[in-house]
Amino acid sequence: MTFLTQLLNGLQLGSIYALVALGYTMVYGIILLLNFAHGDIIMVGAYISWIVMAKLGMSPALAVVLSVAGCTLLGVLIDKVAYAPLRNAPRLSILITAIGVSYFLENGAQLVFGADAKVVPAFISTSTIKVGGVSLSLNAIITIIVTAVCTVVLQLLVQKTKLGKAMRAVSEDMGAARLMGINVNTTISFTFALGSALAGIGAVLYSMAYSQATPTMGIMLGTKAFVAAVLGGIGSIPGAVIGGLLVGFAEVFVSALGLSVWKDAVVFLLLIIVLVVKPTGILGRTMNEKV
Amino acid sequence: MSNNISRRDLFKVSGATAVGISLSSLLAACGGSSSDSAISGKTLKVGLMGPYSGDVAQYGLAVRNGAKLYFKQFNKKGGTSTGKKISLIVQDEKGDATEAVNVYQKMAESNVVAVLGDVTSTPSIAVAQEAVKDNMPLVSASATAADFIKYGKNAFRACYTDPYQGKLMADFAAKKGYKTLCTIYNSGGDYEKGVNDAFVKEAKKKGLKIATQESYSAGDVDFKAQLANIIAKKPDAVLSPNYYQDDGKIVTQARQLGYTGVFLGADGWANIVGGDEDYASGKDLEGCFYDTSFVSANTDKSVQQFIKDYKAEYNADPTNFCALGYDAAMILCDAINKVEKAGKAKTYKDYKQAVIDAIAKGTVKGVTGTIKYEGTGDPVKSTLIIGFKDGKEYIETTM
């Protein structure tokens, strides 16, 4: 019974990591940018939920909508302001810009909201359901279902739609895609919107599970999700999910064994092992470096 | 509670001590004997030190506000029974051990009869090491580090220590009839670990079963793995001796996993509800208990009077640190008054010894409980056990 609970805990934590990792993977897949501000977009999403519910007293449903919309807008805005002007600059410049955006969001949030944790009210009133004598967290079940649905929708979108085809084309060769009549800038913006919308959903699920928003909450979450994305093979959608679940399970089982102090070490060790054995990650394809 | 803040400065202690030793030997070389005039005038000088700027200023300012309020009231009522007033020398040590020793030296040079300080643990230890050489009466409102009172009989504290709280909560658990207990604590925090270890030790002594001790690291947000282990042991109560932000998450997540039992906490819980934010819902906290020395829900007349006076003076609600500062000042004034009344101490040196003896023997009814000392600088004081009922805090019992 405890094992079952731990399994569910691992699935829930892993699902959140997976959702965040999807955002990393999408953006990396298309412009080869490690968007370090991704974790901080989630932080902003959590604060939006807090403002809508705790400050304005509006409904949780509205908080979900506004958080996802807010994150999407923020993601596109960041791309337009910080990354788009550097589209043809060396990749290192844009990477450093991403770090700058990350710091800007963290310190901005601290300036506006203060360093203290803000408590995000509960999205749903009943927190547990009983199934055959076992208490299951409703939050956990919702988180797992939402992540599963998001992954399937995303996969369909990328593989089956015209926009998805455009994304894949831009990802393979930006110049050639442009020559084929694909609007590269719109495609990239759409990717950022999609990744940030996922971050918004992640923010809601994170707030549901941990109920507190702090300016620095995105740092570790982002780092872990980045590890998950690399573990699964960055650029690959199923890979991000597998990576996220692996990291989530690893953390929960290490903590369950009473070794919580070693939790982060185990996650990063996992990353090192995978990178040594299979440098492109579990589902990664070999990239031909453009010289 | 304060050691958590100051331990990052631990390395500074050794440096501060070295500076302190060289300074005090210099002082000894040129020390005079004109100091006896310090006790014959119309006013008696008392030093008040703490961090009033820097990272831990919030604690220093809280203690200073509380202490200054008491000294003001004491003087307003006419001072000592011999009509002497207390004049304060207030100085900022910026939360730094080296600075704290310098500030102390300056105070000792101006022949204060006692020092109220320091606030956080690391500078407090540095000051205690210096003050013992002068046999200076030293009362700290909030230094919880065990070592603070180790150097001599001249140092006292108004707060209780981390292990004391752990032992107290174990006694409370035994009194409540809880048989199986579990704990979950931040293994990287001195405060959390101090309370946890003392709790476990005392619980075992009382014949209670500690089914599991789960730990986590600072910054963790997901406690479900550890909580699932705890719930599987079917405990009567779970100790969570952490700071309120973590405690709030632990309680909420445990309820999500279906745990309906009791949580026990220490004074780190003091802000879990009622402040700017509620860190757990009233429903989830129902039936939980924690210990603290000061709570504004206390209907005791002197406590309510203190809250009223404090609000009138500073236009803010007093915290635990303000109350401890107030009590530390009360302990000092009570002792000085007794020495004045006896009138036996004729020299500065004897006067300081007399103040130390008076503190050691006295009993003071403060706003954080009745405080007395039994042979050490650790107070023996009554402690409040706070419970949650219908989303509100109430005083379950006094221990």
Q: Please write the tens of the pLDDT for every residue from B131-145.
A: 999 999 999 998 888
Domain ranges, residue B315: 3-159+303-381
Contact residues, chain A, for B279 at CB < 8 Å: 117, 119, 212
pLDDT over 80 at B313, yes or no: yes
**Cβ of residue A128 closer than 8 Å to a chain B Cβ:** yes
CB–CB contact B222 A220 (8 Å): no
Residue B215 domain-assigned (yes or no)? yes
Same domain, B39 and B178: no
Helix A217-232 crosses helix A91-113 at what angle (to 10 degrees)?
150
CATH of residue B279's domain is 3.40.50.2300
One-letter amino acid identity for B387? G
Select from A118, A211, A253 the Cβ nearest to the Cβ of B252: A211
pLDDT over 80 at A19, yes or no: yes
Question: Domain boundaries in chain A?
Answer: 15-217
- Summarised one tens digit per residue, pLDDT across range A133-154 is 677 788 888 999 999 999 999 9
CB–CB contact B258 A135 (8 Å): yes
| pLDDT band with cut points at 50, 70 and 90 for residue B10 | very low
For residue A5, the chain B residue with the least C-alpha distance is: B228
Same domain, B128 and B216: no
Q: Which of B295, B229, B240, B232 is nearest to B262 (CA)?
A: B240
User: Coil, strand or helix: which one is A136?
Assistant: strand
What share of chain B in percent tops pLDDT 70? Answer: 91
Same domain, B37 and B107: yes
- Summarised one tens digit per residue, pLDDT across range B175-232 is 999 999 999 999 877 888 989 999 999 999 999 999 999 999 888 888 988 999 999 9
Same domain, B82 and B215: no
pLDDT over 70 at A1, yes or no: no
- Which of B221, B247, B276 should one mutate to test binding to chain A, selecting the residue with the greatest count of A CBs within 10 A? B221
Residue B341 domain-assigned (yes or no)? yes
User: Coil, strand or helix: which one is A106?
Assistant: helix
CB–CB contact A118 B277 (8 Å): yes
Residue B376 domain-assigned (yes or no)? yes
**Cβ of residue A126 closer than 8 Å to a chain B Cβ:** no
- Which of A1, A142, A212, A219 should one mutate to test binding to chain B, selecting the residue with the greatest count of B CBs within 10 A? A212
| DSSP for residue A58 | -
Same domain, B108 and B168: no
Same domain, B41 and B142: yes
Contact residues, chain B, for A50 at CB < 8 Å: none
Same domain, B149 and B168: no
Contact residues, chain A, for B210 at CB < 8 Å: none
Residue B202 domain-assigned (yes or no)? yes
| pLDDT band with cut points at 50, 70 and 90 for residue B367 | very high
Q: Shortest Cα distance from A105 to chain B (angstroms)?
A: 19
ipTM: 0.77
**Cβ of residue A139 closer than 8 Å to a chain B Cβ:** yes
**Cβ of residue A4 closer than 8 Å to a chain B Cβ:** no
Contact residues, chain A, for B217 at CB < 8 Å: 260-261, 263-264
Please provide the average confidence, as pLDDT, over all residues in chain A.
Answer: 89
Same domain, B74 and B99: yes
In chain B, how many domains are there? 2
Same domain, B153 and B7: yes
**Cβ of residue A79 closer than 8 Å to a chain B Cβ:** no
Same domain, B32 and B137: yes
CB–CB contact A261 B217 (8 Å): yes
Same domain, B134 and B190: no
Rounded CA gap, B156 and B133, in Å? 15
What SS3 string covers chain B? CCHHHHHHHCHHHHHHHHHHHHHHHHHHHHCCCHHHHHHCCCEEEEEEEECCCCCCHHHHHHHHHHHHHHHHHHHHCCCCCCCCEEEEEEEECCCCHHHHHHHHHHHHHCCCCEEECCCCHHHHHHHHHHHHHHCCCEEECCCCCHHHHCCCCCEEECCCCHHHHHHHHHHHHHHHCCCEEEEEEECCCHHHHHHHHHHHHHHHHCCCEEEEEEEECCCCCCCHHHHHHHHHCCCCEEECCCCHHHHHHHHHHHHHCCCCCEEEECHHHHHCCCCCCCCCCHHHHCCCEEEECCCCCCCCHHHHHHHHHHHHHHCCCCCHHHHHHHHHHHHHHHHHHHHHHHCCCCCHHHHHHHHHHHHHHCEEEECCEEEEECCCCCEEECCEEEEEECCEEEEEEEC
Contact residues, chain A, for B255 at CB < 8 Å: 127-128
Contact residues, chain A, for B281 at CB < 8 Å: 122
Same domain, B155 and B167: no
